[in-house]
A and B are shown apart, each in its own frame.
Chain A
Amino acid sequence: MTMIHKNEGLRAWLLSEDFTSPRQARAHKAYVSWLRFSSNPLAFGGLLVVLLLVLAAVFAPWVATHDPLAQDFALALKPPSAEHWFGTDELGRDVYSRLVYGARTTLYIAILVTVIVGPIGFVIGAAAGYLGGWVDTVLMRVTDIFLAFPSLVLALAFSAALGAGIENAVIAIALTIWPPVARLVRAETLTFRKADFVVAAELQGASTPRILFRYIVPLCAPSVIVRLTLNMASIILTAAGLGFLGLGAQPPMPEWGAMAAQGRQYLLDAWWLTAVPGLAILLVSLAFNLLGDGLRDILDPKHV
């Protein structure tokens, strides 16, 4: 009985709009956002898939059934069976286990790129938008130079220059993803720069860094977060492209894009080699997209 009462009390406390402490205000905001988010089935589904991906990556040794690197030519190109859930590839390696370990690679690349691109895009975009003048011109011309190249070509060029390997692939991809983010931040900054609450802060004597980080960045954050989640698909695909050309993740390391690309030679006989990783890429990209949409709904200031 007491438990039920306690829960009702907690829920009421979380939902009440009459705050009595900063902790309650924050808890309320988080709880209400969660309720809104979870009432959107597609976004919730996206979140689940992403969580599944993370869990698979973290617990790969337990989730996988075989050693992803173990080769056995006798078992090459076997279709899906009870023993090998997604069949085997041309070197006899278990596709399912490679998929699970490949999740690690995919997640590693996606998260690292995002973590690099976010701050860079923010700093460049916010500085250009707020300071204007020659700072804006110089930064935007640099951005334009990066944007002039198709992203895959640019990533290839950087990757080739930096050398093979996963970390270099991350840097190369990051260098192609930051320009649109910077542009987005700049556009948002331009709209907010003239807002009364920014002017009020300026007239109180707030310094430029203060205004950028405490006033403008929190307002740009929602669009940028959404943009970054929507970008996941292109990050994964660009990594795949690099993998196919021998840059990026090096064999025998499993990586979904490389797996899909390699399976193309065997498409007619062993469709599972391409279909399975391809489907995984599709599902995860879709999941990130839906997650991004759901996040936009709760983060958009207009909806708050």
Chain B
Amino acid sequence: MVERMIEVTGLNIRFGQGSKANHVVRGVDLSIARGECFGLVGESGCGKSTILGAIAGRVKEWQGGIRIGGEAVAPERRKLSQLRQQQIVFQDPYGSLHPRHTVGRILSEPLEIHGIDNRDTRIDQVLDQVGLPRRFRFRYPHQLSGGQRQRVAIARALVLDPQILLLDEPTSALDVSIQAEILNLLKDLREERGLTYLLVSHDMAVVTHLCDRIAVMQKGRFVEVTSRDAMIRGELEHPYTRLLRDGSLGYRPVKAAE
């Protein structure tokens, strides 16, 4: 059994060429244990989604080392078996499902690609697990609410039985009440299946609710890596972390400075 589920060493990611290159991720190290929920927090442009993209295989140009489940992965190509280990849940429930595919089709696609049998059974199972009625298989995405679509997106991520879920702002586009349902679902799934999560978000409260450890990013670097308890108690070292934490508590007037 592999203990370090995700290991990233010296990750550097640049977009563009030469002098105009945007150095989005600057020498990041991180290590996530099996069954852990690790949160990446930061403001827009800090590089958190890019790191998730590199681990997922969506970002194909990076330097450094990434090991998933103990096996090193290459930037350009991944084996089919490697792709199965981690699946993404995207931010926008309205854009992550093909508008012309029924729910059943959306869920059976990954199974077909990997040549897995018992498709109907697995689809029913995964729909049960995300709390959707089985007859939703025949529905199209436009017939579902935002929360229901996100559940389908989670079901799609689970249908290949991955060990890791990469969550890219999974509740940012949802209403507060729906967000609560999805967060509860994610928590339950992790406990039931022993999954490992990497959660990217700009919302400190969401990250603290779900994650064991939290890394704060600014301009491509980790500014601080702290624990859930420390975040709750406010025992933080870096002023930027404190700024983000205070910010999520509500409005606090700042002194005049740009």
**Residue interface bits B80-93, CB-to-A below 8 A is 1, else 0:** 10011001101010
- Of all chain A residues, which has the CB nearest B56? A203
User: How long is the Cα–Cα vector from A295 to B149 in the complex, in angstroms?
Assistant: 27
Contacts of A215 in B (CB 8 A): 98
Residues of A35-79 contacting chain B, CB below 8 A: none
**Other-chain residue from B95, B114, B138 in contact with A22 (beta carbon distance below 8 A):** B138
Task: Say how far B132's CB is from chain A's closest CB, in angstroms.
Answer: 13
Known contacts A200-B90, A204-B83; A25/B139 CB under 8 A: yes
Contact with A along B88-113 (1 / 0, CB 8 A): 10101001111110101000011001
| A55 CA / B104 CA spacing, docked (Å) | 40
Cβ contact within 8 Å between B90 and A20:
no
Q: Does A196 contact B (CB under 8 A)?
A: yes
- Contact assessment for B58 and A203 in the assembled complex, using a CB-CB cutoff below 8 Å: yes
- Contact partner, B113, options A20, A195, A205, Cβ 8 Å: A205
A203 adjacent to B98 (CB under 8 Å)? no
Please, which residues of chain B bring their CB within 8 A of the CB of A22? 102, 104, 138
Query: Across the interface, do A199 and B102 meet the contact criterion of CB distance under 8 Å?
Result: no
A289 to chain B, nearest CB (A): 25
- Chain A contacts with B in 10-50, Cβ cutoff 8 A: 17-22, 24-25, 29
Q: How large is the interface on A (under 10, 10 to 19, 20 to 34, 35 or more residues)?
A: 20 to 34
Assess whether A17 is in contact with B143, with CB atoms less than 8 Å apart. Answer: yes
Chain A residues, CB < 8 A from B58: 199, 202-203
Residue of B nearest to A24 (CB): B138
Contact of B90 with A203 in the complex, beta carbons under 8 Å:
no
Residues of A within 8 A of B156 (CB): 200
A275 to chain B, nearest CB (A): 45
Known contacts A199-B58, A219-B100; is A210 also within 8 Å of B138 by CB? Answer: no
Question: Would you call B57 an interface residue if the criterion is a C-beta within 8 Å of the partner chain's C-beta atoms?
Answer: yes
- A193-226 CB mask vs B (1 if < 8 Å, else 0) is 0011101111111110010001100110000000
Residue of B nearest to A206 (CB): B113
Q: Once the chains bind, are A196 and B96 in contact (CB under 8 Å)? A: yes
**Chain A residue with the shortest CB-CB distance to B143:** A17
State the Cβ distance, A210 to closest chain B Cβ, in Å. Answer: 7
B160 within 8 A of A: yes
Contact of B87 among A21, A197, A204 (CB under 8 A): A204
Q: How far is the CB of A23 from chain B (nearest CB, A)?
A: 9
Once the chains bind, are B109 and A301 in contact (CB under 8 Å)? no
- Whether a CB of chain B sits under 8 angstroms from the CB of A304 is yes
Least Cβ–Cβ distance between A238 and chain B, in angstroms:
33
Q: How far is the CA of A122 from the CA of B90 in the complex (A)?
A: 29
Known contacts A19-B138, A19-B139, A304-B140; is A203 also within 8 Å of B97 by CB?
no
Cα distance A214–B98 in the bound complex, in angstroms: 10
B110, A19: Cβ atoms closer than 8 Å: no
Contact A20–B135 (Cβ < 8 Å):
yes
Output the nearest chain B residue to A199 by Cβ-Cβ distance.
B58
Given contacts A197-B95, A197-B97, A304-B99, contact A204 B138 (CB under 8 A): no
Q: Which of B57, B100, B142, B143 contacts A203 (CB 8 A)?
A: B57
- For A199, what are the chain B residues with a Cβ–Cβ distance below 8 Å? 58, 88, 90
Complex CA gap A206/B56 in Å reads 15
B110 and A197 contacting across the interface, CB-CB below 8 Å: no
Q: How far is the CA of A196 from the CA of B153 in the complex (A)?
A: 11
A228 to B113, CA, bound (A): 33
Contact indicator B96/A218 (Cβ below 8 Å): no
- B83 near A195 (CB under 8 angstroms)? no
CA of A265 to CA of B92 in the docked complex: distance in angstroms? 64
Of the candidates B98, B104, B113, the one whose C-beta lies within 8 Å of that of A204 is B113
Contacts of B88 in A (CB 8 A): 199-200, 203
Knowing A22-B104, A203-B56, A205-B113 are in contact, say whether A219-B138 is a contact too (CB < 8 A): no
Query: How far apart sit A197 and B109, CA to CA, in the bound complex (Å)?
Result: 11
| Residue of A with least CB distance to B135 | A20
B87 near A203: Cβ-Cβ < 8 Å: yes
Give the chain A neighbours of B84 by CB distance below 8 A: 205
Query: What CA separation (Å) do A51 and B98 show in the bound complex?
Result: 33
- Tell whether, in the assembled complex, residue A301 and residue B100 are in contact, meaning their CB atoms are under 8 Å apart: yes
User: How many angstroms from the CA of A201 to the CA of B156 in the assembled complex?
Assistant: 10
Q: Knowing A19-B139, A205-B80 are in contact, say whether A200-B113 is a contact too (CB < 8 A).
A: no
**Alpha-carbon gap, A301 to B141, bound state (A):** 11
Is B96 a contact of A200 with CB atoms below 8 Å? yes
Residue on A nearest B95 in the bound complex, by CB: A196
Is B160 touching A196 in the complex (CB atoms < 8 A)?
no
**Can you list 19 contacts pairing A with B, beta carbon distance less than 8 Å?**
A19-B139, A20-B138, A21-B138, A22-B102, A25-B102, A25-B138, A25-B139, A195-B95, A196-B95, A201-B109, A203-B58, A204-B109, A204-B113, A205-B114, A206-B113, A207-B113, A215-B98, A218-B100, A301-B99
Q: Which residues of B contact A (CB under 8 A)?
A: 56-58, 80, 83-84, 87-88, 90, 92, 95-100, 102, 104, 109-110, 113-114, 135, 138-140, 142-143, 156, 160
A-B interface, 3 closest residue pairs, ranked by CB to CB distance from nearest: A19-B138, A196-B96, A25-B138
Additional A-B contacts beyond A18-B135, A219-B100 (15; CB < 8 A): A20-B135, A25-B139, A25-B140, A196-B90, A197-B98, A200-B90, A200-B96, A201-B109, A203-B56, A203-B58, A204-B113, A205-B84, A218-B100, A301-B100, A304-B140
